[in-house]
């Protein structure tokens, strides 16, 4: 499991966006979005930035790292 | 050959990406990104029904395993059937079956567009490739151990069957690579319902 959680599912639901639609927007497969939402995959910096841009957020607002 | 025609917006985007790809002042990574984006844009604009990366892996695995079986059978039974009409007939039949499958496969794939790889599938394919190589090494070692030491059989590699044996290994590796990719790619998750 990853050391961070993501708000992708929450942000997607707020915009009434399907996983497939988000996948098409950022140029990945739907399976990749599923894995990201479940925290099973570390995205590249480019993918993280692309997802954040789709939601109009910063990367830190999409990918939450626990406070040390 | 009929040239594929897209709408103006797609054509403009493709032209810009091709320009970026050919621009030698950019880094290799930027040019590689442009190439990946060209594949994505072309895929999105293609009106044919899509075949997902996973489905491609399923058909590839089946085809490669079939090829490995055929070549392996020919390599192993070459001496038994050497210079016999029955053996030659059997080899021709097996090759014909394999060729029919390949032709059918090529015709079918021409009707569909293939989903391009993304970063996760590329990473999973790299892992699968390494695991397939190690698995094949272990399988060959175990089969060799059983064949030569336990069953005390012999196997002679000569000018006639070495190619069949080599092709069998190559296709077995490719089939394993696709099969292990399917396992890694689908590990720990089910299809998400939206």
Where are chain B's structural domains?
8-45, 52-186
Sign of CA dihedral B179, B46, A15, B119: positive
Residue with tokens 């639609």: A21
Q: B78: which residues sit within 8 A by CB, 6+ positions away?
A: B87, B160, B161, B164
Residue range B47-71: average pLDDT?
90
| Residue B39 banded pLDDT, cuts 50, 70, 90 | confident
Confidence at residue B106, expressed as pLDDT on a 0 to 100 scale: 83
* CATH code for the domain in which residue A54 is found: 1.10.260.40
Chain B CA closest to residue A23: B118
Residue with tokens 């790619």: B185
Output the average pLDDT for chain B. 85
- Give B176's pLDDT tier (boundaries 50, 70, 90): very high
The region of weakest confidence among A27-36, B75-84, B115-124 is B75-84
pTM for this entry: 0.81
The top-scoring range by mean pLDDT among B1-5, B11-15, B87-91, B93-97 is B11-15
**Surface-to-core class of residue B64, CB atoms within 10 Å of its CB (0-12 exposed, 13-18 middle, 19+ buried):** buried
Question: A43 near A23, Cβ under 8 Å?
Answer: no
Lowest mean pLDDT, pick from A44-58, B140-154, B164-178: B140-154
Per-residue pLDDT for B7 more than 60? yes
Question: Would you say B6 and B14 are in contact if contact means Cβ atoms under 8 Å apart?
Answer: yes
In a domain, A21, yes or no: yes
**Does B83 or A24 have the greater pLDDT score?**
A24
Measure the CA–CA gap between B54 and B51, rounded to whole angstroms: 8
Chain B residues interacting with chain A (CB cutoff of 8 angstroms): 33, 36-37, 40, 44, 52-54, 115, 118-121, 185, 188-189, 192, 194
- Residues from chain B contacting residue A38 (CB–CB below 8 Å): 189
Is the pLDDT at B79 greater than 70? The verdict is no
What total of structural domains would you count in chain A? 1
Mean pLDDT is highest, among B4-8, B55-59, B147-151, for B55-59
Distance from CA of B175 to the nearest CA of A (A): 22
Closest CA to B20 of B44, B45, B37: B37
- Predicted confidence at residue B125, as pLDDT, reads 96
- What span, in angstroms and rounded, lies between the C-alpha atoms of B86 and B97? 16
ipTM: 0.85
pLDDT for position B82: 63
Reply yes or no on whether the pLDDT at B177 is more than 70.
yes
Site of tokens 């089910």: B190
By residue range, what is the domain housing residue A27? Answer: 5-60
> How far is B194 from chain A, CA to nearest CA, in Å?
7
User: How much is the average pLDDT of B3-9?
Assistant: 73
**Which of A39-43, A52-56, B106-110, B163-167 bottoms out in mean pLDDT, i.e. has the lowest?**
B106-110
pLDDT at B1: 46
């Amino acid at each position: 499991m990853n050391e961070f959680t993501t708000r992708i599912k929450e942000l997607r639901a707020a915009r009434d966006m399907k996983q497939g639609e988000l996948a098409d927007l950022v140029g990945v497969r739907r399976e990749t979005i599923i894995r990201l939402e479940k925290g099973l995959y570390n995205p590249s910096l480019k993918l993280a930035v692309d997802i954040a841009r789709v939601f109009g957020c910063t990367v830190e607002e999409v990918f939450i790292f626990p406070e040390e | 050959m009929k040239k594929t025609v897209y709408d103006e917006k797609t054509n403009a985007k493709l032209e810009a990406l091709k320009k970026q790809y050919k621009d030698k002042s950019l880094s290799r990574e930027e040019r590689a990104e442009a190439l990946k984006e060209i594949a994505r844009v072309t895929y999105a604009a293609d009106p044919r029904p899509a075949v997902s990366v996973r489905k491609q892996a399923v058909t590839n695995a089946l085809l490669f395993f079939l090829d490995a079986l055929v070549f392996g059978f020919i390599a192993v039974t070459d001496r038994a059937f050497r210079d016999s009409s029955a053996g030659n007939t059997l080899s021709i039949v097996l090759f014909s079956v394999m060729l029919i499958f390949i032709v059918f496969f090529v015709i079918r794939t021409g009707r569909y567009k293939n989903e391009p790889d993304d970063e996760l599938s590329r990473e999973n394919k790299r892992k699968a490739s390494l695991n397939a190589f190690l698995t094949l090494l272990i399988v060959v070692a175990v089969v060799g151990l059983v064949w030569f030491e336990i069953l005390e059989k012999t196997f002679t590699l000569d000018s006639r069957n070495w190619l069949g044996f080599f092709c069998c290994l190559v296709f077995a590796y490719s089939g394993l690579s696709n099969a292990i990719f399917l396992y890694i790619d689908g590990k720990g998750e089910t299809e998400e319902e939206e």
